[in-house]
Amino acid sequence: MAETRRGKVVLAYSGGLDTSVMVPWIQEKYNMDVVTFTVDLGCTGDMEKIRQKALKTGAVDAVTQDARNLFVDCFVFPALAAGALYEGKYPLATALGRPLIAKLMVDAARAHNATAVAHGCTGKGNDQVRFDVTFQTLAPDLKIIAPVREWKMSRDQALEYAAKHDIPVEATVKSPYSLDMNLFGRSCEAGVLEDPWTEPPEEAFGWTTSPESAPDSPAYVTIEFESGRPVGLDGKAMDGVPLIEALNAVGGEHGVGRIDHVENRLVGIKSRELYEAPAAVILHMAHRELESLCLSKQAQRFKTIVAQEYADLVYNGLWFSGFHQDLAAFVASSQRFVSGQVRMKLFKGQATVAGRKSDNSLYSKKLATYETGDQFDHEAAKGFIRLWGLGQQTQANIQLLKDGRGFTLPGIAGTGGETGKA
Ligand code: ARG
């Protein structure tokens, strides 16, 4: 009986078998009321259906929240501006979503006077880390319950448990894969993918056409950026959510955005993950191309280091950290001139840049041209090169080529050997 229960727990709820079984399981094991919480970050499914299922399963309350705009504006686009790709490949869809879900769960826990939060993550993934670290940072007083880490149920036992508790289980055959998705990407793991030598079968993909069966003529999209953020598509101003949806659709149709990644998890294992992220792939490439016009050489170089650090902290669950604030400050400053347009070509699985332009472009045709109108000072190159090479020349004379020693490098033995005066 609800009256006799000891407080409330807010459970991150997807409506799948595991989180459904958790509702009665937590009630029994912890003697607590369960409030389910479902966040829509895009591609979440029918929220009302999920809500009704939670109530039927025994939740005392079932809360849903559409957080798509928040997700894009405060998580996805900042990570895009940072250039954050984990290990140079994964655009971090799931990793960006977790801290937001966790933060909203803390808010829900406060609103419902809950004393605990719960999630359905396993004990060997990154997601448990992202959830727990966020809870522990924002609300250290809340107890964290992670039933999958505690119970020793197989899928069959979970089904049995569901039947015993009248939990509706969809008749669909269980996919051999473990899937997760939001607006910024879909991930697929397990099943035959666990052998990194096995080519992913077509059935593992859900968002993209295979490059082989993609249309024979390319699509072009023009993305408008303002201070590093996408603000328009093909000449029309557009909010982030519809812009990402549109790029996922057209990119997916052309087979763009498939990423096969053997990645290093935080918990010390390598796992083979198959991502589909058409919008993310197109936007990251477009953004980098615009930066190539708008950033100085030094800023561009340094930013690759920041991008890697930023991707690591997102992947590793440290979104709510001071280090993130520090990096975000650099990124924001670096983006103040990153405005303009990039035209991308989508064709048979590839996104390539077709053109880029910006009012802040540092590219100067007058300096770059080999044709008439060249304003580059060719004379000045001579003196510049004298001084540029002076240090190396001095070292060669004093150390490397001394006493007729040849200049040895792997594969080039005994080159040179004449000494001279610097
Ligand atoms: N490997 C990716 C990550 O760590 C995707 C995880 C997907 N999560 C899931 N529960 N299937 O971000």
Same CATH fold assignment for domains 7-164 and 178-295+337-363: no
CA distance linking residue 91 with residue 244, whole number of Å = 13
CA distance linking residue 142 with residue 197, whole number of Å = 43
Distance 187 CA to ligand 1 centre (A): 7
Atom 8 (ligand 1) nearest CA? 180
Question: Which atom, in ligand 1's list, is nearest to the CA of 126?
Answer: 4
Q: What is the pLDDT of residues 321-377, one digit of tens each?
A: 999 999 999 999 999 999 999 999 999 999 999 999 999 999 999 999 999 999 999
- Which residues does the annotation mark as catalytic? 18, 98, 127, 178
CB 143 within 8 A of CB 116: yes
The amino acid at residue 103 is K
Atom 1 (ligand 1) nearest CA? 273
In this predicted structure, what is the pLDDT of residue 171?
59
Pocket residues: Cβ below 6 A from ligand 1: 94-95, 125-127, 178, 180, 187, 273
Which has more confidence, 167 or 246?
A: 246
CA distance linking residue 40 with residue 15, whole number of Å = 12
> Mean pLDDT over residues 222-247, rounded?
98
In this predicted structure, what is the pLDDT of residue 404?
78
pLDDT of 278 > 80? The answer is: yes
Q: How confident is the model at residue 411 (pLDDT cuts 50, 70, 90)?
A: confident
Which has more confidence, 271 or 44?
A: 271
> How many CB atoms are located within 10 Å of the residue 295 CB?
20
Atom 7 (ligand 1) nearest CA? 180
> How many CB atoms are located within 10 Å of the residue 398 CB?
11
Q: What is the pLDDT of residues 124-148, one digit of tens each?
A: 999 999 999 999 999 999 999 999 9
> Mean pLDDT over residues 72-82, rounded?
98
List beta partners, residue 35.
10, 61
CATH 3.30.390.50 fits 178-295+337-363, yes or no: no
Q: How confident is the model at residue 44 (pLDDT cuts 50, 70, 90)?
A: confident
Pocket test for ligand 1, best of 189, 193, 265 (most atoms within 8 A of CB): 189
CB 126 within 8 A of CB 266: yes
Distance 147 CA to ligand 1 centre (A): 18
In this predicted structure, what is the pLDDT of residue 196?
98
CATH topology of domain 7-164: Rossmann fold (3.40.50)
Mean pLDDT, all residues of the chain: 94
Distance 386 CA to ligand 1 centre (A): 54
**Predicted TM-score of the model (pTM):** 0.94
Question: Which atom, in ligand 1's list, is nearest to the CA of 94?
Answer: 12
Q: How confident is the model at residue 415 (pLDDT cuts 50, 70, 90)?
A: low
In this predicted structure, what is the pLDDT of residue 173?
62
Distance 309 CA to ligand 1 centre (A): 19
- So where are the chain's domains? 7-164, 178-295+337-363, 365-422
3-state SS, one letter per residue, for the chain = CHHHCCCEEEEECCCCHHHHHHHHHHHHHHCCEEEEEEEECCCCCCHHHHHHHHHHHCCCEEEEEECHHHHHHHHHHHHHHHCCCECCCECCHHHHHHHHHHHHHHHHHHHCCCCEEECCCCCCCCHHHHHHHHHHHHCCCCEEECHHHHCCCCHHHHHHHHHHCCCCCCCCCCCCCEEEEECCEEEEECHHHHCCCCCCCHHHCCCCCCHHHCCCCCEEEEEEEECCEEEEECCEECCHHHHHHHHHHHHHHCCCCEEEEEEECCCCCEEEEEEECHHHHHHHHHHHHHHHHHCCHHHHHHHHHHHHHHHHHHHCCCCCCHHHHHHHHHHHHHCCCCCEEEEEEEECCEEEEEEEECCCCCCCHHHHCCCCCCCCCHHHHHHHHHHHCHHHHHHHHHHHCHHHCCEEECCEEEECCCCCCC
Pocket test for ligand 1, best of 19, 127, 129 (most atoms within 8 A of CB): 127
